[in-house]
């Protein structure tokens, strides 16, 4: 901060600092509490619905064509998902507002399952794709937290539906060739010919139970699986080891019952289109009509920031964080931008990724400061792990802060800002 007198020096940058903090929080946190300023999330089950809000069309497409390798990078995190789940993700991605609304609504309806959840989602005004996706809360969480990716996916799918589906098939072929995509007790993988095109289908082994694979998209398409583990003393391979075979892991299966229908948002690979019933889905024509309840404010909601708990490489700060720092400091060179590291988790594997990400963020802030930009770092990670109540009282689950955790975050922000403004 610059200035010749003490008072203006403290007074002038404060609005700019607040603006910078608002952006930094979007990228630094995993969950937030906010009252939406323009439209609240869809009503919870049992909340009277207001008159339907104006229709929200799909976002305008800004890129008419996408390079094949860029499409492959875009679909890599989901290309090995079951066919119908891929179709539902692609269809839902054309309207990111509906994805966020669905995610916030789902946070308030965690107790609902199966057909009951589907009926409530329909009442809340969600379309067929999001109604299906709420059966998979981890997938919805990924799409909400990785909102930039969701928007790009929707734009690509709107621009070049066939190109997106072809990219999925190319990646499946690569994964199958190295031995990482094959039939398991959780899924059935078949190679077929459609419209003179060789395609790979991935379907649940049991149509009533869907498993979502977990994998590293930077490894699974190019690296062969490890050799089979040695047999145990009983002469068998443990269930855990078997599930992890082929660089794909499977969590608990989702019992979908009648909530998902075979003709909803299903990819027809040979035709190069996702079909809804007998007709191909036409993204530009999709209109989302949210049904917002009056005065409904979720207890916690999504803002569209990145999450280290999903597939992807977090060893380097996201490019948009670097670009955001540069943009803010270029537009407001006298402001001080404060960036916080993200909070720890209680899951060892995820926490390793969090620490790697935080190290990269610290390096980014250090380099930006060395280049003359007014940037400072808040160590939110240490504020949590050094708190004696971290193991039992600061997280709502293994990942997201609870009310006490948010108090610790607020105190840490306050102390850091107070020290910087002295």
**89: which 2 tokens?**
């993700």
Strands 266-268 and 254-255: unpaired
Residues 208, 263: one domain?
A: yes
Q: How confident is the model at residue 260 (pLDDT cuts 50, 70, 90)?
A: low
Asked if the model's pLDDT at residue 29 lies above 50, the reply is no
Q: Which residue has the tokens 């600061």?
A: 394
Whether 243 and 225 have beta carbons less than 8 Å apart is answered as: no
Q: What is the pLDDT of residues 84-106, one digit of tens each?
A: 999 999 999 999 889 988 998 99
Residues 94, 13: one domain?
A: no
Strands 279-280 and 213-214: unpaired
- Give the structural domain span for 266: 56-288
CA distances to 123, 194, 301, 357 from 384, in Å: 40, 54, 21, 16
**165: which 2 tokens?**
């589906």
Q: CA 419, CA 422: separation in Å to the nearest integer?
A: 5
Let me know if residue 50 belongs to a domain.
no
The CATH number for 399's domain is 3.40.50.1110
**Mean of the per-residue pLDDT values of the chain:** 75
Residues 64, 15: one domain?
A: no
Residues 323, 283: one domain?
A: no
Residues 221, 252: one domain?
A: yes
Q: What is the pLDDT of residues 154-178, one digit of tens each?
A: 999 998 999 999 999 999 999 999 9
pTM of the model: 0.58
CA angle (180, 185, 191) in 5-degree steps: 55
CA distances to 17, 72, 312 from 308, in Å: 26, 21, 8
Boundary of a domain, candidates 288, 323, 357: 288
Q: CA 414, CA 218: separation in Å to the nearest integer?
A: 39
- Domain count across the chain: 2
Whether 409 and 400 have beta carbons less than 8 Å apart is answered as: no
The confidence score (pLDDT) of residue 261 equals 55
Q: What is the mean pLDDT of residues 264-269?
A: 88
Let me know if residue 141 belongs to a domain.
yes
Helix (H, G, I), strand (E, B) or coil at 303: coil
Q: CA 395, CA 385: separation in Å to the nearest integer?
A: 11
Whether 374 and 329 have beta carbons less than 8 Å apart is answered as: yes
Boundary of a domain, candidates 288, 316, 339: 288
Residues 6+ positions from 63 with CB-CB distance below 8 Å: 155, 156, 159
Strands 213-214 and 249-250: antiparallel
Q: Alpha helices, DSSP H only, in 134-238?
A: 137-145, 147-159, 161-177
**346: which 2 tokens?**
């209680």
Q: What is the mean pLDDT of residues 234-241?
A: 40
Q: CA 2, CA 336: separation in Å to the nearest integer?
A: 10
For residues 27 and 269, which has the higher predicted lDDT (pLDDT)?
269
Let me know if residue 225 belongs to a domain.
yes
Residues 6+ positions from 260 with CB-CB distance below 8 Å: 84, 132, 135, 210
> Within 13 Å and on the Cβ side, how many CA atoms surround 74?
27
Let me know if residue 21 belongs to a domain.
yes
Q: What is the mean pLDDT of residues 242-253?
A: 62
Let me know if residue 386 belongs to a domain.
yes
Quote the DSSP letter at residue 310.
S
Q: What is the mean pLDDT of residues 341-347?
A: 83
Let me know if residue 43 belongs to a domain.
no
CA distances to 44, 315, 396, 408, 411 from 383, in Å: 34, 21, 16, 7, 9
Q: How confident is the model at residue 16 (pLDDT cuts 50, 70, 90)?
A: very low
The confidence score (pLDDT) of residue 420 equals 84
Residues 118, 222: one domain?
A: yes
Let me know if residue 378 belongs to a domain.
yes
């Amino acid at each position: 901060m610059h200035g010749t007198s003490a008072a203006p020096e403290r007074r002038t940058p404060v609005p700019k600092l607040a603006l910078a903090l608002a952006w930094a929080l979007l990228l630094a946190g995993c969950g937030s509490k906010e009252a939406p300023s323009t439209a609240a999330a869809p009503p919870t089950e049992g909340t009277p619905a207001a008159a339907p809000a104006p229709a929200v069309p799909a976002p305008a497409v800004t890129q008419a064509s996408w390079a094949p390798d860029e499409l492959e990078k875009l679909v890599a995190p989901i290309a090995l998902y079951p066919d119908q789940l891929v179709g539902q993700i692609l269809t839902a991605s054309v309207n990111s507002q509906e994805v966020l609304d669905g995610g916030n609504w789902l946070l308030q309806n965690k107790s609902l399952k199966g057909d009951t959840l589907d009926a409530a989602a329909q009442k809340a005004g969600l379309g067929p794709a999001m109604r299906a996706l709420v059966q998979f809360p981890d997938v919805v969480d990924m799409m909400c937290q990785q909102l930039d990716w969701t928007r790009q996916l929707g734009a690509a799918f709107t621009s070049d539906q066939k190109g997106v589906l072809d990219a999925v098939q190319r990646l499946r072929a690569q994964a199958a060739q190295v031995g990482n995509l094959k039939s398991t007790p959780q899924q059935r993988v078949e190679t077929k010919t459609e419209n003179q095109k060789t395609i790979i289908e991935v379907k649940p082994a049991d149509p009533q139970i869907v498993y979502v694979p977990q994998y590293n998209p930077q490894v699974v398409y190019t690296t062969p699986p490890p050799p089979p583990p040695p047999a145990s003393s009983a002469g068998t391979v443990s269930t855990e080891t078997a599930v992890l075979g082929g660089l794909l892991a499977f969590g608990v299966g989702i019992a979908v019952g009648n909530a998902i229908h075979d003709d909803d948002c299903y990819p027809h690979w040979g035709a190069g289109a996702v079909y809804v019933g007998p007709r191909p889905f036409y993204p530009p024509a999709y209109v989302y009509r949210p049904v917002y309840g009056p005065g409904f404010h979720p207890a916690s909601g999504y803002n569209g920031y990145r999450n280290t708990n999903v597939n992807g490489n977090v060893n380097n700060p996201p490019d948009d964080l670097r670009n955001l720092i540069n943009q803010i400091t270029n537009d407001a060179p006298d402001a001080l931008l404060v960036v916080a590291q993200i909070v720890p988790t209680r899951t060892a594997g995820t926490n390793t990724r969090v620490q790697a990400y935080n190290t990269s963020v610290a390096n980014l802030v250090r380099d930006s400061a060395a280049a003359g930009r007014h940037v400072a770092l808040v160590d939110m990670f240490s504020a949590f792990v050094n708190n004696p109540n971290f193991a039992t009282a600061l997280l709502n689950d293994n990942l997201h802060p609870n009310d006490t955790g948010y108090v610790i975050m607020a105190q840490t922000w306050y102390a850091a800002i107070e020290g910087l403004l002295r």
